A and B are shown apart, each in its own frame.
Chain A
């Protein structure tokens, strides 16, 4: 009799939960059962299954970070400066990205709130609105670069820009509107696998491995380069490695997935795996163009079309170049999926809307529309004739790296707040690493500013 009453209470409780929470509880119940099975009889496969169930946000954010703008930036960097400086630089960026993103895992798992909600709630509407405005503007600009990548890549296969932009938009809208969080995340992860195509392409191009290894120790900067342009490219690479949308995306994703304090170690492993994959792809791109495009006449000013034309004459040939084009489409698509979700989550958190990918479109239209309108706008901008797309691509990276110190400051304040983080507050080494990153960003931005005002001083 008592069990019947309890069962009824639980059923009533479940029925009383909002739709998004009910789905999250269902997902978490599966995780709980997997943990219970592990406790009863541990095995490698059960551990692996639990691990595979809980990973997602970290790999997704890191792969999506190698977006179309990132792919173009890395390819242009390799073409303009070779592998001497930027391969070791990108290796350095791997721990930098991990340190930053790992903090969002803890913050999301402990507070069960997204980044926008935390800034708004703890530091008031001014900084909340500032962060939201900054995020939305940067996201729309970034989405423009994603659609640039999608249209350029599809053009290689004879698809007109209007169809590829529309197709990209409808895929992003479709997965966001009609899949619940778990399925959305798995679909996005499968799309993300395509990002790894650049690694076999780089291997197949037979880069000068001796030079790659030598570069690790030398950090060689090519002679006779313009310092201001070099700093600009460093900023662009920084901007594409760590960006504000990534903080908002991963924290909200952790919350929507329902991760708790118990899941933090797997969330950290998820982030570490994603960071390594991100670094591998970035290095592969610089090695590819640094080996086969760098040194060609005028390579320093090559756009992505010229770079791909040059790659067609490298050992990867026309098939490899076509795969490069497909990789560009995938990079734009996966990032568009992630960035659209990050805008929706952030707007939902700031305006206290019902906000979860578990919600049906008719129950959370403002949440979904807030992200999708920005994405539609970006797709339209790409289709405008004579839009300065190449300029926009580098600009978005620079804008992101200028705003990043602000986003990092809020992250650090929150992670050092024992009232909300409890035992998961930042450790001294984490603060040292994070403050060093903020310092690095500010020095890079300061150098950029200096070269703007005094272009002939360096």
Chain B
């Protein structure tokens, strides 16, 4: 059973007027433009490699910590 309090029909409550048309245009609803891949080069490429090394190093350290039963 649909609960109207939770799912009111927006068409029933909206004032469909000129003001609403300009509002809708300003809000820019509808589909978003597709995202394009960011170029990964220069400093960004270095940062990504640094991140890979950091993650591997930290996982190894944490694994050592846990196997030694430090905590």
A32: which B residues are within 8 A, CB to CB? 23, 27
User: What is the bound-complex CA distance between A150 and B40, given in angstroms?
Assistant: 44
- Name B20-36 residues within 8 Å CB distance of A: 20-21, 23-24, 27-30, 32, 34-36
From A7-15, A100-108, A290-298, A327-335, give the one contacting chain B.
A7-15
Contact status A10-B51, CB under 8 Å: no
A23/B18 contact (C-beta < 8 A), A123-B40, A409-B47 known:
no
A36 CA to B15 CA in the complex, in Å?
A: 14
Residues of A near B14 (CB, < 8 A) are: 14, 25-26, 29
Q: How many residues of B contact A (CB 8 A)?
A: 46
Determine which of A10, A24, A127, A391 lies in contact with B21 in the assembled complex, contact meaning CB atoms within 8 Å: A10
A413 engages B21 (CB within 8 Å) = no
A424 in contact (CB, < 8 A): no
User: Which residues of B from 28 to 71 have beta carbons under 8 Å from A?
Assistant: 28-30, 32, 34-38, 40, 44, 47-48, 51, 54-55, 57-59, 61-62, 64-66, 68, 70-71
Interface of A is mostly: helix
Q: Contact check, A260 vs B11: say whether CB atoms are below 8 A apart.
A: no
Q: Is A448 an interface residue (CB 8 A)?
A: yes
B6 touches A179 (CB 8 A): yes
Give the Cβ gap from A300 to chain B, nearest Cβ, in Å.
13
Q: How far is the CA of A112 from the CA of B30 in the complex (A)?
A: 11
A100-142 contacts to B, CB under 8 A, are 111-113, 117-118, 121-124, 127
| Nearest chain B CB to A216 CB, angstrom units | 29
Among A62-70, A159-167, A449-457, the one that faces the other chain is A449-457
Number of A residues near B (Cβ < 8 Å) is: 60
Q: CB-CB < 8 A to B18: which residues of A?
A: 3, 6
A413 touching B38 by the CB < 8 A rule?
A: yes
Q: How far is the CA of A401 from the CA of B44 in the complex (A)?
A: 22
Contacts of A403 in B (CB 8 A): 55
CB distance from B63 to the nearest CB of A (A): 9
Can you name 23 A-B residue pairings with CB atoms under 8 Å?
A6-B18, A10-B20, A11-B11, A14-B16, A28-B27, A32-B23, A118-B35, A121-B36, A122-B37, A123-B37, A127-B48, A180-B6, A183-B6, A228-B70, A229-B71, A232-B71, A260-B27, A395-B71, A405-B54, A419-B38, A445-B58, A452-B64, A452-B70
Which residues of A pack against B, CB within 8 Å? 3, 6-7, 10-11, 13-15, 17, 21-26, 28-29, 32, 36, 111-113, 117-118, 121-124, 127, 178-180, 183, 228-229, 232, 258, 260, 360, 391, 394-395, 398-399, 402-403, 405-406, 409, 413, 417, 419-420, 442, 445, 448-449, 452-453, 455
